[in-house]
Structure formats: C-alpha cells, structure tokens
Amino acid sequence: MKRLALLGSTGSIGTSTLDVVARFPARFEVVALAAGRNTSLVAQQARAFRPRMVAVAEEEGARRLREELPGVEVLSGEAGRIAVATHPDATTVVGALVGALGLVPTWRALELGRDVLLANKETLVVAGELVMALARRTGARILPIDSEHNALHQALRAGAPEAVRRLVLTASGGPFRTFTAAEIEHVTVEQALAHPTWSMGAKITVDSATMMNKGLEIIEAHHLFDVPGERIDVVVHPQSRVHSLVEFVDGTLIAQLSVNDMRFPILYALSYPERLPSPIGFLDLVEVGTLTFEAADEVRFPALRLARAALGAGGGLAAVMNAANEVAVEAFLDHRLRFPDIARVVEDAMGAAAAHGLHLETLEDALAADAAGRALAARLIEEWQTRVSG
C-alpha cells in the first residue's frame, strides 16, 4: 500500500487525487494533507480520509481545525507544509500546490528519498537542475501528474532515450486561440477564466490563456526528461485528446490519448509502474471524430518566447520569469493590470534581472531569484499604474 502526503488537497488536482484514492482503498492511504485557506473543505477531507496530520495556510484556520478534528495534528504555514511533505509515515508525496510555494516542501521530501508525484510545474521551473540532481542523489522518483508530461512519460516507455528525436507538447490554445493581437489587447478577466476544455484554478487558467503554462512546461520537460529545449516543440490541439507526443529518430510518433480528465494522469502516477483498471471511463474515438493541430503563435503569445529565452540563459532567470508571472497574473485577476501586460511585465522583469546575473547553485539561490522576480514585477506594476492614473 502506498501511503500519501498530499500538498494542495483542496485544489482541482488535490480533490481529483482524493477521488482516485477513494476508489482504491486497498491500494492507497492518505496520512497527511496540506491545504490553503479553504478550511471547511479540508475538514471534510480529513473526516473522510482520516489523515494523521493536516496543515493550512494560516494559524487562525489551524486553531479552528484543532477543535473540529480531535486526534489530528494540525499545523500552519510553511512549517506545516514541510511537516506534511516529510511525515514519517508517508511513502509518496503528491505535489499539487500552485506556484513556487511548492518548492521547499517538495525539496524536503526529496531529501528523504520520497517519491514525488508532481503537478506543481513551478518547482522544476524555479530550480529544475537542483531538484533533479537531488532526486538522483537520494534515489527519489519524480513522476509527473501534469497531463502533458504524464503523456510524455508514458510515450517515452516505447523507446530508448537515445532514440528520441523530439518531444511535442500539445496546447488547447486557451480561450483566445482565434483572437487577433488587437482583440487580445482588450480581453477581460471573465473571458480569460472561460477555458474551453479544462476546469482549473484561476492562476493556471490565466496561464493557459497567455500560454505561459506551455512555456513553463517546456522548461519542466527539459528537466524531467533531459531533452534540450530546442528539441521540445509546442503544437495547438484544440480537442485536447492527444495530451503530448514523442517523435523517435525513425520517424515514429507515439501519442498518449485519453478523456479530458485529470484523474487519468493521477491514476497512472499513483499506480506506476502498474496500470490499474480505469474507474472513470474510456475515450470513444468515434465520438471524438476529428483531431486537428495548429502551429503555436509566439507573436500573439510571447510567453512561449520568454520561456525559451529563460531556459537558454540558465541560472536563476527562469525563477525570475515564473515569479514575475505569478505577481502579474494576480494583478490581472485583481483588475490592476491588463491581460497583454502580463507578458510585458514578465519580459521587463527578466531584462532587469538578467542585467545583474543570477547564479543557481543552491536552494537559497533559487529562493533569492524568486524573491527578486516578485519584487521587480511588483515595482513595474506600480510604475505602470502610476503612469496610467497620471
């Protein structure tokens, strides 16, 4: 039996993970949960799955939960998240926190040699080289839950690493796939949150709309599979049935297809190297009918270009890019920044950071680059707001 510590239990990946776990009670046990501020939902989860430990973002919420959950150890803040990730009874950690928040808990779990099922792409964007080196030292396995990287993981089992010609990440194209550059200048928060294919949290949904999620995934795929960035391509696939492909040197393309449901990659990662029978249906190819593919436009969606530049530069620039994006997306969701200005803030922050150089040799370096990116983006947004109001 795999004993799970789940980071991000109340988000879309967390709730989907618990749905899968509930269907296989003889195979998986939940020993610890970490959530944000949704204390009512995590209390329900704790009553259903009976973990030994629960952590939430704030101490006030933790105090309420201690009264509601007698016999459960309840913690708060980063110390709580780390305690969940390193719980002595856990064999496997599911990393489903949103943003760079997941880096340190994931790092601590890997230090102990725990297997990590990773949905938090920012961990590898911020400190990918360091994280993968740590996993190699401790013997920990990192299995991707992101549908695209999970698909690549499955497709790569079809051939030897040296036979891989390129990786192909698929993108839905988001809600603005057919918008002109002029139309993108005026899109609203409500439009950006109306994803045509997936139901996700607000930050990830906006990243899909800007295609920053694909940029982050290029960097993540590079670190996970040790493939150079120039051999990782992105194609737009509006139906979102082909979750990614691997092209081998003999011209063969191996694709992974399934229903658009995150429980499929979660089930694969939880059960790996086995395959458990699907309790959630199968893909009907006749019903799907047509699969189409389009080129990704790096002019209308400059986040792709920025991510490639960050990966090529190395060091801490990807951490700055990710941090600036998180700050800019939050400002957009708060109606303090226009949609196209998200990428502009990120590009300006990267330019300012690159001028000073950013080394990436330790976890502390990665955290410092993250902090620098946040500070730069916050300052840029404030300057832009001042210009607009003036």
Q: What is the pLDDT of residue 216?
A: 96
Share of the chain above pLDDT 70, in %: 98
Q: What is the pLDDT of residue 354?
A: 84
Half-sphere exposure of 340 (CA within 13 A, CB side): 13
**Domain spans of the chain?**
2-144, 146-304, 314-390
Q: What is the pLDDT of residue 358?
A: 81
Q: What is the mean pLDDT of residues 104-130?
A: 95
Residue 323 tokens, joined: 């941090």
Q: What is the pLDDT of residue 98?
A: 82
Rounded to whole angstroms, the Cα distance separating 162 from 349 reads: 37
Q: What is the mean pLDDT of residues 84-109?
A: 94
How far CA 54 is from CA of 68, 143, 211, 307, in Å, comes to 12, 24, 34, 35
CA-derived radius of gyration, the chain: 20
CA neighbor of 269 nearest in space, from 100, 110, 151, 104: 151
Check residue 253 and report its DSSP letter: E
Write down the CATH superfamily of domain 2-144. NAD(P)-binding Rossmann-like Domain (3.40.50.720)
Helix (H) or strand (E) run with residue 33 in it: strand 28-34
Three-state SS string over 127-181 comes to: HHHHHHHHHHHHCCCEEECCHHHHHHHHHHHHCCHHHEEEEEEEECCCCCCCCCH
For residue 210, pLDDT over 60 is answered with yes
Q: What is the pLDDT of residue 100?
A: 80
Rounded to whole angstroms, the Cα distance separating 13 from 179 reads: 29
∠223-158-19 over CA atoms, to 5°? Answer: 70
Q: List all residues 6 or more positions away from 272 whose beta carbon is below 8 Å from its beta carbon.
A: 143
Are 258 and 252 a contacting pair, CB within 8 Å?
Answer: no
For residue 338, pLDDT over 90 is answered with yes
Q: What is the mean pLDDT of residues 131-143?
A: 98
Q: What is the pLDDT of residue 387?
A: 67
Check residue 336 and report its DSSP letter: S
Helices (H) and strands (E) in the chain, counts: 17, 12
Q: What is the mean pLDDT of residues 64-82?
A: 97
Q: What is the pLDDT of residue 389?
A: 59
Q: List all residues 6 or more positions away from 307 whose beta carbon is below 8 Å from its beta carbon.
A: 212, 214, 215, 216, 218, 219, 318, 321
367 CB neighbour count, 10 Å cutoff: 18
Count Cβ neighbours within 10 Å for each residue of 165-187 and write b for 16 or more, e otherwise. Answer: bbbbbbbbbbbbbebeeeebeeb
Q: What is the mean pLDDT of residues 329-342?
A: 96
pLDDT in tens, 155-188: 999 999 999 999 999 999 999 999 999 999 999 9
Note if the pTM is more than 0.85: yes
For residue 286, pLDDT over 60 is answered with yes
pLDDT in tens, 287-332: 999 999 999 999 999 999 999 999 999 999 999 999 999 999 999 9
Could you tell me which CATH number the domain at 314-390 has?
A: 1.10.1740.10
Confidence of residue 388 (pLDDT cuts 50, 70, 90): low
DSSP bridge partners of 235: 170, 295
Q: List all residues 6 or more positions away from 42 whose beta carbon is below 8 Å from its beta carbon.
A: 9, 10, 33, 35, 54, 56, 65
pLDDT in tens, 8-63: 999 999 999 999 999 999 999 999 999 999 999 999 999 999 999 999 999 999 99
Q: What is the pLDDT of residue 120?
A: 87
Q: What is the pLDDT of residue 167?
A: 98
For residue 257, pLDDT over 80 is answered with yes
Average pLDDT score, the chain = 95
For residue 390, pLDDT over 60 is answered with no
For residue 380, pLDDT over 60 is answered with yes
Sign of CA dihedral 172, 258, 193, 78: negative
Q: What is the mean pLDDT of residues 97-108?
A: 90
Q: What is the pLDDT of residue 225?
A: 98
